Amino acid sequence: MENIVEFVVDSTRSMGAEYAEARLQIDLRESIILKNGILEASTFEESKGIGIRVLVDGALGFASTNTLRRSNIERALKHALKIAKASSKLVKKKISMGKGELGKGKVDIKPRVNFGSVDFDSRVSLLREADEEAVNAASICGVKIPSRMVTLDTWTTEKIVVTSDGANIHSITPRVALFVFLTVFHPQRGPIQRYFNLGETGGWEIVERWNLPRIFYDETYAVSKVLMEAVKPPDGEMDVVLGPEVVGIVSHESCGHPSEADRILGREAAQAGETFLKPDSIGLRVGSPYVNVVDDPTLKSSFGFYLYDEEGVKARRRILIKEGVVNEFLHNRETASVFGVESNGASRSVAYNREPIVRMTNTFFLPGDYTEEEIFEDIKDGIYIKNFMEWNIDDRRFNQRYVGLESYRIENGELKNLIRNPVLEITTTGLWSSVDAAGKKLEFQAAYCGKGDPMQGIPVWTGGPHIRLRKVRIGGA
């Protein structure tokens, strides 16, 4: 396979491209869909093909094909060159590929338990056992759980990335992912819903470690309690503790996305939008000194794991906000060239037929030095938002809304009654500036980040410890 990729890069260079990059990618995925305890489908998907990116006269062309005959590949690369050349007349500032620490070699993540050793029947049995625990938990709480939707995916991605300036990386990455959507119902109280994702890099041993029956029971029990016991939240200015699930989404939406250099340059302006950060925002204070947010693809077992990006650049931790100050943007080689820096290895693509673009991986708030007890203990009157359902943020990444799901009143440092749907609607700088404590214990959640056109939903982790916000406004239904 490596020969094909090298052939493409050599041919493209000889046809006049200033830069060429080819990525052969194979994704093999098996999925189980369980709906209301009944198996809806067992599926497997194979996606194999080559994506070719070229730079001609300062313009970028991308072509992909899944037919790996030499004639088809030649057709694709000729199209990549032709389309780049045609569009070069609408390129005033010529694109170039910046520097980066290019790699050569193989990254092979070996599962301890191969997916092939676990048949579909066993997978369905596990999900059914977990599903039954959800039903049991609802029953104990005196509610019904009429709708349950569960998908369990195992998939392996193999890539060979070769660039005309020397990168050559072969990687094999197995992943597991679970998606759960639950609707709990009570005739007088109506419906309440909860969804969550689990996802890691590795083999079936991860699913065995998850203890799905326990997770399904706990999640259903918690959301049932919210349905039955939660009362109207307070309204006004108060101290708020955010749990790791909320801190994770905030770090992703209000730090990770604004820090993407392609957004800063306007490249996503008509889709996911731009950002309130500008090219000269490095050094800008956006939060309190307690705020430290990083993006790190090198975390072992993480859902967003990789050691080399799609341009062959060595991955590393990126410190996006350091002690409340914008420290670094996420770059690929194209944006690095514009900013006059080295790429920090943030180029990702979800499939062979998708252009690599600047992406997050595992974005999280760094732990502080508070115990959980210390975070809560001096709050006289506040709330704790453990997790959420609804959220969104504007396309400048400045006005966001998080609506709590499992949330509690805090009185004199102690958790009191459950409250229903507290709303935190706040600006990015307002949120980060109000942080005055971060816990020691770091937790992660899996998610799929959407960006690009065509859309690329890419696996990430979001995470953080508990953090405390002082005197922010809370509203709610």
Of residues 276 through 335, those in contact with another protein by CB under 8 A are none
Q: Name which position in 105, 166, 266, 289 contacts another protein (CB under 8 A).
A: 266
**Binding positions for another protein, 211-250, rule CB under 8 A:** none
Work out whether 267 is an interface residue with another protein (CB under 8 A): yes
- 367 or 476, CB closer to another protein? 476
Work out whether 181 is an interface residue with another protein (CB under 8 A): yes
CB 52 to another protein: min, Å: 10
Work out whether 255 is an interface residue with another protein (CB under 8 A): no
User: What's the 3-state SS for the chain?
Assistant: CHHHHHHHHHHHHHCCCCEEEEEEEEEEEEEEEEECCEEEEEEEEEEEEEEEEEEECCEEEEEEECCCCHHHHHHHHHHHHHHHHHHHHHCCCCCCCCCCCECEEEEECCCCCCHHHCCHHHHHHHHHHHHHHHHHHHHHCCCEEEEEEEEEEEEEEEEEEEECCCCEEEEEEEEEEEEEEEEEEECCCEEEEEEEEEEEECCCHHHHHHCHHHHHHHHHHHHHHHHHHCECCCCEEEEEEECHHHHHHHHHHHHHHHHEHHHHCCCCCCCCCCCCCCCCCCCCECCCCCCCEEECCCCCCCCCCCCECCCCEECCCEEEEECCEECCCECCHHHHHHHCCCCCCCEECCCCCCCCEECCCEEEECCCCECHHHHHHCCCEEEEECCEEEEEECCCCCEEEEEECCEEEEECCEEEEEECCEEEEEEHHHHHHCEEEEECCCEEEEEEEEECCCCEEEEEEEEECCEEEEEEEEEEC
CB 154 to another protein: min, Å: 13
Q: Name which position in 12, 65, 343, 349 contacts another protein (CB under 8 A).
A: 65
**Binding positions for another protein, 193-212, rule CB under 8 A:** 193
Work out whether 89 is an interface residue with another protein (CB under 8 A): yes
Work out whether 425 is an interface residue with another protein (CB under 8 A): yes
CB 60 to another protein: min, Å: 4
Binding mask 383-402 for another protein (x = CB under 8 A): ------xxxxxxxx--xxx-
Task: Determine the size of the site formed for another protein (CB under 8 A).
Answer: 94
**Binding positions for another protein, 338-357, rule CB under 8 A:** 353, 355
Work out whether 36 is an interface residue with another protein (CB under 8 A): yes
- 210 or 391, CB closer to another protein? 391
CB 111 to another protein: min, Å: 20
Binding segment for another protein among 70-78, 102-110, 281-289, 458-466 (CB under 8 A)? 70-78
